[in-house]
Amino acid sequence: MKKFGMTACAMVGFIAGIAQAADNRIYAGISLGNAKTDLESGHAALVDNNKDTGWKLIAGIRPVDWLGAEVSYVDLGTLRQQRPIPDATDYKLEQSGFDAFGVAYIDIAMVDLFAKAGVVRWKAESSFSGFGGPVHETEHGTDFAWGVGAQLRWGSLAARLEFERFEIDETPQANPQLLSVGLTWTFL
């Protein structure tokens, strides 16, 4: 019985060491996932699929367990349609931006649940070709963005799953979103 008690105490100590408080410092990371954009009806007919691979580079700071700030560069992929028929329209839409969020955390042992809200400074470049020549358009704007997610921490390394939505209602894009998985590393 004494041996069982010592083993149980050792296990509790080990678990307590792993389930430490959040690593509250500066972090950086990368995420990769599925980007989706709702297109207005006139542009929706021009693309085969409104989804593409998206990715982002992340930098953040978490000064206390429950609150942080995060900035990132996000690439929301390229939507395209290429028509094999001569004189048909080829269409391409490339989307990217920089965002800044305030992040609220709920710390549960090795897992953090988080919600974030902020702004995105976005850029959308679209091009049409065919039917009389190429047309290029570039649009910029700043709009509201939000997200939710969870991350699992192992010391300074964390694996995260998150959903972000960018409230953009400009032609031709509307409300791009990114569902991604990624890694962050706390280093300072």
Tell me, yes or no, whether 103 lies in a domain: yes
Q: What pTM, to 2 d.p., does this model score?
A: 0.80
The predicted model gives 22-31 an average pLDDT of 89
Write down the pLDDT at residue 62.
96
Find the mean pLDDT for residues 45-49: 58
Query: Is residue 169 domain-resident?
Result: yes
**pLDDT at residue 16 in the model:** 42
Q: For position 158, which CATH number holds?
A: 2.40.160.20
Does the residue 7 lie in any domain? no
17 occurs within a structural domain: no
Domain count across the chain: 1
Give pLDDT, residue 174.
74
Do residues 120 and 135 make contact, with C-beta atoms less than 8 angstroms apart? no
Whether residue 8 is contained in a domain is answered as: no
| Chain segment 73-102, per-residue pLDDT in tens | 999 998 877 665 555 567 788 999 999 999
In a domain, 178, yes or no: yes
In a domain, 5, yes or no: no
Whether a cis peptide bond, with omega within 30° of 0, leads into 172 is yes
Domain region containing 50: 23-186
Average pLDDT, the chain: 83
